[in-house]
Amino acid sequence: MRTEDGRTIRLKDYRAPDFRVSTVALDVVLEPGQARVVARLRLERGPGVATDRALVLDGDGLELTRLELGGAPLPASAYEATPERLTIATVPATGAFELSIETRLKPEENTALSGLYRSNGIWCTQCEAEGFRRITYFPDRPDVLSLYRVRIEAAKGEAPVLLSNGNLVEAGDLADGRHFAVWEDPFPKPSYLFALVAGDLERLGDTFTTASGREVELGIFTERGRSAPAGYAMDALKRSMIWDERRFGREYDLDVFNIVAISDFNMGAMENKGLNVFNHKYVLLDPQTATDADYAGVETVIAHEYFHNWTGNRITCRDWFQLCLKEGLTVYRDQEFTADERSRGVQRIGAVRRLTALQFPEDQGPLQHPVRPQHYKEINNFYTATVYDKGAELVRMLATLLGEDAFRAGMDRYFERFDGTAATMEDFLGAFAETSGRDLSQFALWYDQAGTPELAVREAFDAPSGTLTVTLTQSLARGAAGTGTAPFHMPVLFGLVSPSGEDLTPANPSGRAGLAEVTAPETVMRFAGLKERPVLSVLRDFSAPVVLRHEQSEADRLVLAARDPNLFNRWRALNDLVGDELRRLTGANRAGRTAEIDGRIAATMIDTAGDERLEPAFRALALALPPESEIARSIGRDVDPAAIHAASESARVAIGRAGLATFERLAAAPADGPFSPDARAAGARALSLAALGYLSAATGDNGPAARRYEMAGNMTDRFGALAILVQRFAPSAACEAALADFHRRFEDDELVMDKWFALQAASPREETLDRVKALTEHRQFSLKNPNRVRALLGGLATNPIAFNRPDGAGYRFYADRLEALDKLNPQIAARLATAFRSWRTLEPRRQSAVEETLDALLAKAALSIDLKDILERTRS
C-alpha cells in the first residue's frame, strides 16, 4: 500500500500522455498462491513529445520479474523499477515499439480488493480508479485507450470458468489438468475498464435481441448453487437494455454481456466493458432473504452499470477530475429508468431524501468539494455523493432548462461527437450549447463552485390589484472551498395553487408555464389578475439542488401538504412542517420543557397515510419522519443528537396515538398472495410496516411486531418487524428471542447476516456500543469483508445515540477499528471515516471528544493516504 506518497494532483496541471498504448496483450497465469502476468504493450510517443523524454509507467506494489524492449531483454542499467514506477530512459524516438513486462502478484494476500485478488476462491479484478497499476506497469490514466487481448490460464478444477472483456476467441485444454481462454475486446478502452474473473462459477444464461437485430448472449455468474436468485437481476438487465434503446437510442454493442457476483467487493458494482463485476448484494435475491429495498437496489445498480456502457465506456473521462461526466450522467439515467419503471413521484422523493441526507452534509462540511474537484490526493476518496448525486442533479437541471426534446438532441450530439474518446465536462456541455443554441457558460459554474446555494423566497400580495409578487434571492456562503460564489443559472419550477387545490399557474408567453430561469442574485416575478391570494408552490420536483428558505405560513403549507397537484411538493410541504416541529421539540427538550407536535400537522400526516386515492408508496413516505441527521444538519450548530432523537420519539408516539384507528387498519399485513417484488406490492408493504411502527410507538406493546415477525412470509415483513423490535423494544426478551431466531434461520446466508449485524448496531441506546464491541468478536465478523464491516461499523456510525455517546467512547472505539481496518483495506477505512464529517456542528463536549479522537488517530505513524486524506480534511 502506498503510504509515503501524498502528492496533490491538480486539474490545471493536466497534460496529454507522453506515450499512447495502441494494443495490450495480457497473459495471466493463475496458480495457488501466485499469479504471473506478462503484458505486451505496443507503445508510441505522442505527437510533439520531446524525443528524449523517458518512458515512465505507473505501478503500485509491483514486483518486476522480466523486462523486454523490442523483443530483447533490457539490461538492469537501462531501467529503474520500484514498486511504484517503471522508468526506461531511452525508448525509440519515433514509431511504434513493443515492451514486454512480467510481474508476479499474490492475489490471496490482496485484502485491499483493488487490482487482482481472490474472493471465496474466485480470482477477480477491480481496476477503477487506479487498480490496473497493481497488476502491471502501465500509463494508468483514463485518456490512454487501447485494444486488449487477454489470455488466462488456470487449473480446470479450480477455475473452470475464465472470463475477460469482449468476446471469447479461443479456449482449450493444456497439460496437467490446466486450461486457457483468450478474450478480445474490439473497443478501445482505458485500463480502469479491464477485468478478469476465473473460478468455479455457475451461469444463468439468457439472450437479448437489440433493436437492430444483434443477438446478445447474457450471462450472470455466481458461486455454485446460487444462480437461481439471479433471476430478478437478469430481468432488470433486459429491461435496462430495452429502456436505453427507447429513451436514448443506445444499443448494446458486443455479442456477449456478462455479470459476475463477488462476495468481497469495495463498492456496489463496476462497469468493466462487457464484464460487469458486482457486489453479490446487488445480484442475489429471493423473497425469503431480500427486502423490497434490496430488490429496488438491484434494479438500480444493474441499470446503472449497464448504462455506463455508453456513458463511461464508449465515451470515457479524459482525467479523474471529470468523474461526474460518467457518474453524474449515469446516475441521472438510472434515476430516469426507475422513474419510468416504477413511480416518477415516489422515485423523485427518494432521490431527494438521499441527496439531502448524504450530499448536503458533505457540501456543507469539511469534506466539501465541487462536483468537478480541482485537486485531490487520493481519487478513490472522490467517489462521493457530490460527484454522483449532485452530479445527477446538474444533468437533471440541464434537462429541465432545455426541455425534453432539446435535451435528447444534445445527448445525441454528445454520443455522435465523442464516441470512442475520453471527454471533459466542457465537451458535454458544448454538445448541448450547440444543439440548443443556448449559452451555458453560467450554468457551467455548477461544476466548479462548491457548496449548497440558498434560495430565499419572499411573497407579497396586493389584494386590490390581485397581484402576487415573488422575489427569489440566491446566495452561496462565502468560503465555499474557495471556489467562488458567483450566482448560478438554475431552473425553478413553481405553481400557484388555490386553497382548494386548483392549479392557477398562468401561461408564460416567453417560456414554459411554471418554469422560472434564475440567473441573477435576485429575480422578481409578478402574477396579476388574481381573484384571491394563491398558495405558492415553489421549487417543484426539487428542480435545483439548493437549500430553500421560504417563509411560508403554516396554513399555506398545510394546503400544499394536502392538495398540491405536484406530488413532490406535497410531500415536501408535509416534511417541512414536521421538520420544523422536530426542531421545536428538540429545543424544548434541551430547555427541559415538554412540548407536543402540532395536532393539525399530525392530522395531515394521518389523513395522507389513510388516503386510498394515493399510491401506497407515497403514503408510506408521508409517514416517514425527516431523518434525525437531517434535523441535525438544519439546526447546524450546538447539536445534541440525543435531544433530536428524543424529539423524534415523542413525535412518533404522539402521531401514533392521534392516528391509532388508522394505523391499526393499515398495519394489518397486506393480503397474502404469491409474493411479487413489484413497486405496487412493495409500496403496500412499506405502508403497513410504517403503520406498525406508529402503532408500536403509541401502545408500547411489542406484541403486534413480534407476531408480524413470526407470521412473516417474506423478508420485508420479517426484517421490518424485527427492526421495530430492535429499535423500540430493546432490551427485552421478545427482542432477544427474535434476534436469536433470525440468526438460527439465516446464519448460512452471508447477505442476511449483514442485516443481522447492521440492525443490532443501529439500536438507539448507549449500551449498543458494548453490543457492537462484542459483535466484532463474533465468529461471523471479519474486517476483511466490506459488506460485513459496513453492516456493523457503518451501522454504528449512523446510530445517533451509541456513536455520539457524550463520553466519547463511541468515537474512540470506532477510530480504533478504523486503524485496524486501514491496514487491510484503506479504501473502506477512508469511506467509513467520513462518519465524522459533521463533527463541528456538535455541542462542545462531543465536539472536543471527536477532536481528541481525530488527533490521536492522525498521530499514528502508518496511516494509508486514503484514510489520512479524509482525516486531515475532516480535521481542518
N-terminal to C-terminal alpha carbon distance within the chain: 25
Q: Residue 424: CB partners within 8 Å, gap ≥ 6? A: 317, 318, 319, 322, 325
User: Considering 128, 271, 305, 393, which one is annotated as catalytic?
Assistant: 305
* Stretch touching ligand TRP by CB under 6 A, among 267-275, 569-577, 748-756, 863-871: 267-275
Q: Long-range contact list for 347-354, CB < 8 A, 24+ apart?
A: 348/541, 348/542, 348/567, 348/568, 349/567, 349/568, 349/571, 349/618, 349/621, 350/621, 351/389, 351/392, 352/542, 352/568, 352/572, 353/627, 354/385, 354/389
Q: Is the Cβ of residue 330 or residue 586 nearer to Zn ion in the bound state?
A: 330
- Which position has the grid cell 457558460? 441
Q: Is the Cβ of residue 326 or residue 755 nearer to ligand TRP in the bound state?
A: 326
- In whole angstroms, the minimum distance from the beta carbon of 307 to Zn ion comes to 8
Rg, Å, the chain Cα set: 28
- In whole angstroms, the minimum distance from the beta carbon of 871 to ligand TRP comes to 20
- In whole angstroms, the minimum distance from the beta carbon of 305 to Zn ion comes to 7
- Which position has the grid cell 462476495? 263
Q: Does 829 bind ligand TRP (CB under 6 A)?
A: no
Cβ-proximal residue to ligand TRP, closest one: 267
Q: Is the Cβ of residue 275 or residue 614 nearer to ligand TRP in the bound state?
A: 275
Interface residue with ligand TRP, options 122, 270, 298, 642 (CB under 6 A): 270
Q: Does 19 bind ligand TRP (CB under 6 A)?
A: no
DSSP tag of 8 = P
| Separation of alpha carbons 7 and 24, rounded Å | 29
Interface residue with ligand TRP, options 266, 291, 386, 537 (CB under 6 A): 266
Instruction: Give the containing element (helix H, strand E) for 800.
Output: none
- In whole angstroms, the minimum distance from the beta carbon of 164 to Zn ion comes to 20
378 belongs to the catalytic site: no
ω into residue 520 within 30 of 0, thus cis?
no
270, interface contact from ligand TRP, Zn ion, none, CB < 5-8 Å by kind: ligand TRP
| Separation of alpha carbons 468 and 470, rounded Å | 6
Q: Which residues bind Zn ion (CB under 5 A)?
A: 327, 330
* Stretch touching ligand TRP by CB under 6 A, among 269-277, 703-711, 788-796, 835-843: 269-277
Q: Does 625 bind ligand TRP (CB under 6 A)?
A: no
- In whole angstroms, the minimum distance from the beta carbon of 129 to ligand TRP comes to 6
Q: Residue 51: CB partners within 8 Å, gap ≥ 6? A: 45, 93, 94
**Cell numbers linked to 311:** 456513458
Q: Which of residues 341-360 bind ligand TRP (CB under 6 A)?
A: none
* Stretch touching ligand TRP by CB under 6 A, among 33-41, 97-105, 262-270, 418-426: 262-270
Q: Does 608 bind ligand TRP (CB under 6 A)?
A: no
DSSP tag of 420 = T
Helix (H, G, I), strand (E, B) or coil at 301: helix
DSSP H helices in 379-473: 385, 391-402, 404-418, 425-436, 445-448
Interface residue with ligand TRP, options 27, 58, 60, 128 (CB under 6 A): 128
Number of residues that bind ligand TRP (CB under 6 A): 12
Interface residue with ligand TRP, options 60, 244, 327, 393 (CB under 6 A): 327
Q: Does 378 bind ligand TRP (CB under 6 A)?
A: no
- In whole angstroms, the minimum distance from the beta carbon of 717 to Zn ion comes to 32
Burial class for 581, CB neighbours closer than 10 Å (0-12, 13-18, 19+): buried
Interface residue with ligand TRP, options 67, 267, 582, 772 (CB under 6 A): 267
746 residue type, one letter = F
383, interface contact from Zn ion, ligand TRP, none, CB < 5-8 Å by kind: ligand TRP
Q: CA 325 from chain center: how many Å?
A: 15
Q: Does 269 bind ligand TRP (CB under 6 A)?
A: yes
Q: Does 866 bind ligand TRP (CB under 6 A)?
A: no
Interface residue with ligand TRP, options 130, 305, 615, 640 (CB under 6 A): 305
Q: Is the Cβ of residue 131 or residue 693 nearer to ligand TRP in the bound state?
A: 131
Helix (H, G, I), strand (E, B) or coil at 462: strand
DSSP state letters, 816-837: HHHHHHHHH-HHHHHHHHGGGT
The residues that touch ligand TRP, with contacts defined as CB under 6 A, are: 126, 128-129, 266-267, 269-271, 304-305, 327, 383
User: Active-site positions?
Assistant: 305
